Chains A and B, each alone.
Chain A
Amino acid sequence: MTTKKPGKGDIMNQKTTWAMIAIGVLALCAFLVLSACNKKEEPASSPMAEQQAAQPAATPIDPATVATINGTVKFDGTAPKPAKIDMSQDPGCKGPNEAENLVVDKGDLANVFVYVKDGLGDRSFDVPKDAVVLEQHGCRYHPHVLGVMAGQTVDIKNADPTTHNIHPTPKDNREWNESQPPSSPDIEKSFAREEIMLPVKCNQHPWMKMYINVVKSPFYAVTDKDGKYEIKGLPPGDYTLAFVQEKLGEQDQKVTVAAKESKTVDETFKPAAD
């Protein structure tokens, strides 16, 4: 290429240079933008981690403030005479036995499961290391109503000279059914989920029936033959106390306990409607 004609060309050249520079700058910008885009953005925020902390540690309770609830559960009505159970079908079953579905003595109602149903918020409690014992003796269960914390071991013993089978029929836990011949080792089981009045039976001795109550807190009790119960170590607060009887169902009471208070909460069941 020859540069014959200077003059005006110079001007153009000048402008061209500017244009070239402009283009160059633009191209550079474009390049920069492009490359900037190419660079990976730093993750602005990390995806939500599944906050699954391990089992929350037990909430501490100040032992200096704890309260106690106790009381008596009554039965307002005439209880039918408990049916005698003839166990002569199995010579291994000895001793007297009668139906335990409604055990009333002078108006005191035994075998009522009492527990703090509501009011503990999301407190959690350590599961006791000690097992709760369920014994089969004289072809009946001892106790007839049992409370246990979720995850706590139930140690099942057979003291009878006959074979039993232990068959819980839960709603919210896993069902099982195991044979326990005489003088065989204890069966150790636990229930993972809360369930009230979980029926347990023995298929070989149709009269044998008991209830396990699986709860999340240690604040529960079963009324004794005098209808008495006691729940200790309760932190002050507002609670719903539930009284559950296998045939008569559940009755609730709202209770407020102050620090160190010892409160008496009685309850009365009426005969079932039918």
Chain B
Amino acid sequence: MPDKPIPEQDPITSKSYAGYYLVATVLLVATLFWALWDEAWGQRPWKAFQDEWRDRYTAFLNTERSKSAKSQTAIEQDPQYVALKQAYTQAYLAAKPQAEETRKKLDDASARLLAAQSVFTDRRAYVNALTYEYETTSSASAKASKKKEIDQYKQKKATVEYPDGTRQAYDFDELEKTYNDIRAEKTKLSLELGVVLKPATDAHAKMDEYVSDHMVDLTPAQIDGLKKKAADWDAKIVQINVAEANIVDRCESCHMNTREPLKITEAAMMLKGEKKPDEYAAAFTSHPRPELLQIHDPEKFGCSPCHQGNGRATTSIEKAHGNYEHWLWPLFPKENVQAGCQNCHAADMVLVSGDVQYQTINDGKDLFRQKGCMGCHRYEGYDREPEELNSITQQIKQIEKQKIDNLKQASYLMKEADAAETNDEANTLNTQAVDLKVANSKLDGRLQQLDFQSHSLMQDMKKVGPNLKDIRLKLNKNWIPVWLKKPTDFRPTTKMPNFRLTDHQIEAISAFIWQDALTDPLPQHKPGNAAHGKELFETRGCLACHSIGEGDQMQGGTFAANLSRVGEKANYDYLVRWIHNARERTRPYCPYEKKDIGPEDYAKKGLPYQFDLEHSRCPNDGHELQVQNMTVMPSLRLTEGDAEDIATYLMTQKKKDPSSYPSASYMDDPSLKEEGKKWVRFYGCAGCHEIAGFEDEGRIGTELTFEGSKPIERLDFALFTEVAQRGGKDAEPIKDKEDLARLPDGPATEPWYNHKGFFEHKLAEPNVYDQGMVKGDTEKLRMPNLHLTKDQVLDLTTFLMGSEETSLPESYQYKPGDARHDIQAGWWVIKKYNCMGCHQFIPGQRTILMGLKQYQDAQDQLPPKLLTEGARVDPEWLRRFLSNPALSTTDTNRDGVRPYLKVRMPTFSFSDNELRILVRFFQALSQQPMPYIPQEVPTLTAKETDMARSLFSSTAAPCLKCHATGDPNHDKIATAPNFLLAKERLKPDWVERWITDPQAVSPGTSMPSGLFKQQNGQWVFAGPTPPTFNGFEGDHRKLLVDYIFQLTPEEQRRVAAAMPHARAAIESHHAAIGGSR
């Protein structure tokens, strides 16, 4: 290295960089500090949450603990607990002397054992050591000497000094025996002690059990456990990881209390003095529906499959909740949270857990169906009947082909067999041919079933709107254009949406449907009695579906039309036919020929013009016909006279005279017809209505099955894209007041550029995205205004938000193969016919009728609750009842089971398919196995029959006072079914439960509880028993039920005749009714 002179101003030696170093160091240290901070907290905001959680939760637990301790003390004062405690004390005291003695002996034995043990183990160790040496020594002499040594050692005596001071010397063998003896004695004594104390320990266990059974909240000990857990908590990420479903959810890193076994509200987690819950309080609530977590174990389901959001993110609340641009599945907002159910339950109509109905999503599903959305929009699972019919048609074709192939193959094989060389070979071939023939006869059976099914499905297919082929028979012609202008102006609650039609379009459409409709003659009816019609209308159950009166005056259900102004639009004769049997069709329709078959077609074949469910083949070609109106309106089995009365009453329901509608003569103008047809097609009218020539019309709307997962940029916000992203003062595009009122959260001020915002605006004002655009008539958005309420928009938005393509594996989808499948299949039918308008299926569910004025003081006039129907009735009986609720082919103008009810169980003309589904539904809902094998009911002896009869008719159990007997005079005041139905209708085990506590089966029923009490393991009658019961030790309840099941009409008549004053009762009943009015 060349020696260079050091320059004068050597930057290394002469200039100090300390200043720079200092600055750099400060920066570095600051960076380090920041990095450390960021590492420890910046990136880990959940740590702050967990710290905060520990404090708040501990404080909460402290208050909970004192409450819990208080309620434990309260429970300990229950007489039952006191009794248990007494029992314990008694048992303890009883056992005490013996226990003490035994314990003394035990203590003595233990002490002696200890004394012997110390000597013995010592010596045994020495013996063992010597034995080891003996075993490992190889030479024989050494072995001998060792053996001797052992023996000598064993001979040597050792002294044991017992605790009582005695001393005793033993050689080794004696010592071993003594030791073992004492040990055996000790074991025996401790067993003895256990036996002596058993009653006391059992009694104590019962005390503990009583406390834990009667504590509504956690016990203090359980709360202490939770407190300890909180105190010992180390900050860490809490994560659910399910590889199978690609779920990584770290939500519980902040939401620490989600799965805690207490109910923890925001208010409980708030800091003292704060007015509103802060973000911590909001985060630390327990899951509001813990029962949901029980059926969806978070260890399997995580959080995000239901709630969405970015389960992996832990760096900020926005990221974790997925509320940022780059995350496609943001957390469902609270009000739409049930959208998450759709992920796995898209195909299920009713979501219930326990008694809790998930109303938002259930209503969303219901609205989608009821408002006829699927008339324009395909949605997987909402076209069950037509899709199934399609698949059956395909199957039939396949099977027919298979049959032909089989026959061909069989004849080929037989030919081969005839020419075979050996008998064996011929026999084999012949057997194969025979097998094929058998296979064909099996296929015939299958074909027959498919045929039945397609017959059923034709019957099951319904339309949301009325059949427009009938409008010439049904409607006031001049009313039609007025209606089309804006249906809600005429009937605010109608399902028919507003299509924003121009006057010219209205003229054309009216003209087309008028000229397109059938003109068959209708039978004429004389006018009926309006007052009687009104009474029938109000009592037969019409109001479970229909409503009458407008605004505040409205009474009844929203399932079907409001009939307040029906007198302005309807034709009386048609109305009578409709009320008498709404399914009666003007002409049958043949889907094969695509035409309405008329009398001329039948005449050609020389057949009578008769078409109904039994005569449903086309006279021309034998194909299955649509022989019913495609409406869900059932028949109430009214006489023609009653139908006339109701129709007469309904015709009085009007605001103005039908003749005051301006004449619409243009509807007969043939030149308008073609244009009208164009608009009918354009607006997709056939989605909801039957229209001649449009029976096979496709849908005009977009499919919505996966609408919720459509990328946001494919939702057309049109001119409002930017404003929706920006939010602010002008963010709300809807101007119309009525439409604005439909928005669940009111006019937008925040950005609404998301699925929720799009759906809500679209549903509130379907043409909102046309605003500001220049479009021709055929380019405009076609979706009509469904005039939804706020709640309905929320329900439907939730439904659509949940309609996503799921990333979860197939096994996560709710597709049960067991009874739960039957339940969901059943709900589809239950909802279709609005069974819930009259009947209660789920505890707490309100029916429409329950809300009506006329039932407030007459609850016993309500239709029966069906909470345990499957457990109550024989499924085969149920099938018969559902297909004919009159239970009679001749006496049909009544209810079969409860003739005393004014409200009528209608005949729905269920297809075999639907009957099967419904019967299975009820069985499954009550957890009954299928098929049902009836329980044997023993035949009573003459003596038992006498006893049962005397109880059955005793003053204390006056069964026939309320139950119908078939005697018309008595039945007028009856409020319960005839016992003669029991044998075929009821399940004996259910009847036993029923008569024990009817209020537990059907809350509010007229049948009282407390008839029986339990005594010595038997159910005995609670009131005074007839003298015949003296000395009887059997089960009274069982006896009575067996008697009811063997009751004959003669027996019942005899018993009823013995009851006094049957006739007088009726008079007094009338007097009472008259008096209370």
| Chain A interface residues (CB < 8 Å from chain B) | 5, 7-9, 11-12, 15-16, 18-19, 22-23, 26-27, 30, 33-34, 37, 40-41, 43, 45-50, 52, 54, 82-92, 98-99, 101, 161-163, 165-167, 169, 175-184, 187, 199, 203-204, 206-207, 209
A88→B1023 contact, CB < 8 A: no
B1004: A residues at CB distance < 8 A: 169, 175, 177
Q: Once the chains bind, are A207 and B1068 in contact (CB under 8 Å)?
A: yes
Contact B1008 A178 (CB under 8 A): yes
Q: Which residues of B contact A165 (CB under 8 A)?
A: 1008
Q: Is B1074 positioned at the interface, with any CB of A under 8 Å from its CB?
A: yes
Within the assembled complex, what's the spacing in Å between the Cα atoms of A176 and B1003? 8
Instruction: Say yes or no: A15 contacts B18, CB within 8 Å.
Output: yes
Known: A162-B958, A178-B1010. 4 other contacts (CB 8 A): A50-B267, A161-B955, A167-B1006, A184-B956
Q: Are A180 and B1010 in contact (CB under 8 A)?
A: yes
User: Contact: B16 with A12, CB < 8 Å?
Assistant: yes
Query: Binding site of A, secondary structure by majority: helix, strand, loop or mixed?
Result: loop
List the A residue with the shortest CB-CB distance to B1061. Answer: A88
- Taking CB atoms, residues of chain A closer than 8 Å to B1072 are 83, 85, 99, 206-207
Q: Given A99, A101, A184, which contacts B1023 in the complex, CB threshold below 8 Å?
A: A184
Q: Which of A23, A40, A47, A177 contacts B999 (CB 8 A)?
A: A177
Give the Cβ gap from A164 to chain B, nearest Cβ, in Å: 9
Instruction: Check A179–B16 contact: CB distance below 8 A.
Output: no
| Chain A residues with CB below 8 A from B267, complex form | 48, 50
Q: How far is the CB of B843 from chain A (nearest CB, A)?
A: 13
State whether A49 touches B1008 (Cβ < 8 A). no
Contacting residue for A181 out of B860, B956, B1066, B1074, CB 8 A? B956
Are B1075 and A9 in contact, with the CB atoms below 8 A? no
Complexed CA–CA distance, A27 and B28 (Å): 10
Given contact pairs A45-B272, A91-B1060, A182 touches B1024 in the complex (Cβ within 8 A):
yes
Question: Are A181 and B857 neighbours in the complex by a CB distance under 8 Å?
Answer: no
B695 on interface, CB distance cutoff 8 Å: no
Q: Is the CB of B957 within 8 A of A163?
A: yes
Which chain B residues lie closer than 8 Å to A204 at the CB level?
958, 961-962
Q: Tell me which residues from 264 to 301 in chain B have a Cβ below 8 Å from any Cβ of chain A.
A: 267-274
Evaluate whether A22 and B13 lie within 8 angstroms (CB atoms) in the complex, with A49-B59, A52-B67 already known.
no
- Cross-chain contact of B269 among A47, A99, A166, A167 (Cβ < 8 A): A47
A177 touches B1008 (CB 8 A): yes
Contact with A along B689-710 (1 / 0, CB 8 A): 0000000000000000000000
Q: A82-B1075, A83-B1072, A178-B1010 are in contact. Are A15 and B958 (CB under 8 A)?
A: no
Closest approach, in angstroms, between the C-beta of A16 and any C-beta of chain B? 6
* Chain A residues in 8 Å Cβ range of B1022: 179, 181, 184
CA distance A209 to B56 in the complex (A): 54
Which B residues are CB-close (under 8 A) to A9? 13
Tell me which residues from 1040 to 1071 in chain B have a Cβ below 8 Å from any Cβ of chain A: 1060-1062, 1064-1069, 1071
Residues of B within 8 A of A162 (CB): 955, 958
A156 CA to B40 CA in the complex, in Å?
70
The B354-393 residues at the A interface (CB cut-off 8 A) are none
**B-side contacts of A206, CB under 8 Å:** 973, 1069, 1072-1073
Judged by a CB distance under 8 angstroms, whether B60 is at the interface is yes
Question: What residues of chain A lie closer than 8 Å to B999, measured between beta carbons?
Answer: 175-177
| The 3 nearest A-B residue pairs measured at CB | A181-B1023, A89-B1065, A83-B1075
Binding site for A on B (CB under 8 A): 13-14, 16, 18, 21-22, 25-26, 29, 32-33, 36-37, 40-41, 51, 55-56, 59-60, 62-63, 67, 70, 267-274, 857, 859-860, 955-958, 961-962, 973, 975, 998-999, 1003-1011, 1022-1024, 1060-1062, 1064-1069, 1071-1076
Give the distance in Å from the alpha carbon of A141 to the alpha carbon of B322 in the complex. Answer: 65
- Chain A residues whose CB sits within 8 angstroms of the CB of B998 once the complex forms: 177
Q: Does the CB pair A89–B955 fall under 8 Å?
A: no
Q: Verify B1061–A90 contact, CB threshold 8 A.
A: yes
Nearest Cβ in chain B — how far from A122, in angstroms? 20
A27 proximity list for chain B (CB < 8 A): 29
Taking a contact as CB atoms under 8 Å apart, the answer to whether B51 and A40 are in contact is yes
A27 CA to B22 CA, complexed, in Å: 12
Do residues B29 and A26 form an inter-chain contact, with CB atoms below 8 A? Answer: yes
Is there contact, CB below 8 Å, between A88 and B1068?
Answer: yes
* Alpha-carbon distance A8/B1076, docked complex (angstroms): 120
Interchain CB contact under 8 A, B51 and A45: no
Most-contacted residue by chain B among A34, A47, A89 (CB, 10 A): A47
Contact partner of B18 among A5, A12, A83, A88, CB < 8 A? A12
Q: Name the A residues within 8 Å of B67 (CB-CB).
A: 52
Q: How far is the CB of B699 from chain A (nearest CB, A)?
A: 47
Contact across chains for B1076 and A101 when beta carbons are under 8 A apart: yes
Indicate which residue in B859, B1066, B1075 contacts A85 across the interface (CB closer than 8 Å).
B1075
Task: State A204–B959 Cα separation when bound (angstroms).
Answer: 10
Whether the pair B21, A19 counts as a contact (CB closer than 8 A) is yes
Bound-state Cα–Cα, A99 to B32, Å: 92
Query: Can you name 12 A-B pairs with beta carbons within 8 Å?
Result: A30-B32, A45-B271, A47-B269, A48-B268, A50-B63, A50-B267, A89-B1061, A89-B1069, A99-B1072, A176-B999, A181-B1024, A184-B1022
The CB with the most chain B CB atoms within 10 A, among A18, A41, A91, A167, is that of A167
- Kindly identify which residue among B51, B1008, B1023, B1061 contacts A182, using a CB–CB cutoff of 8 Å: B1023
Q: Name the distance in Å between A127's Cβ and chain B's nearest Cβ.
A: 16
Enumerate chain B residues within 8 angstroms of A84, measured Cβ to Cβ: 1071
Interface residue from A45, A99, A182 paired with B956 (Cβ < 8 Å): A182
CB distance from A48 to the nearest CB of B (A): 4
Q: Does A183 lie within 8 Å of B1024, measured CB to CB?
A: yes
- Chain B residues closer than 8 Å to A199, beta-carbon distance: 857
Report A-chain residues with C-beta under 8 Å of the C-beta of B1068.
85-89, 207
B859 x A169 contact (CB < 8 A): yes
Please tell me if the beta carbons of A86 and B1064 are within 8 angstroms of each other in the complex. Answer: yes
B51 engages A175 (CB within 8 Å): no
**In the complex, what's the smallest C-beta–C-beta distance from B1 to chain A, in angstroms?**
14
Q: Quick check: A92 and B1074 within 8 Å, CB to CB?
A: no
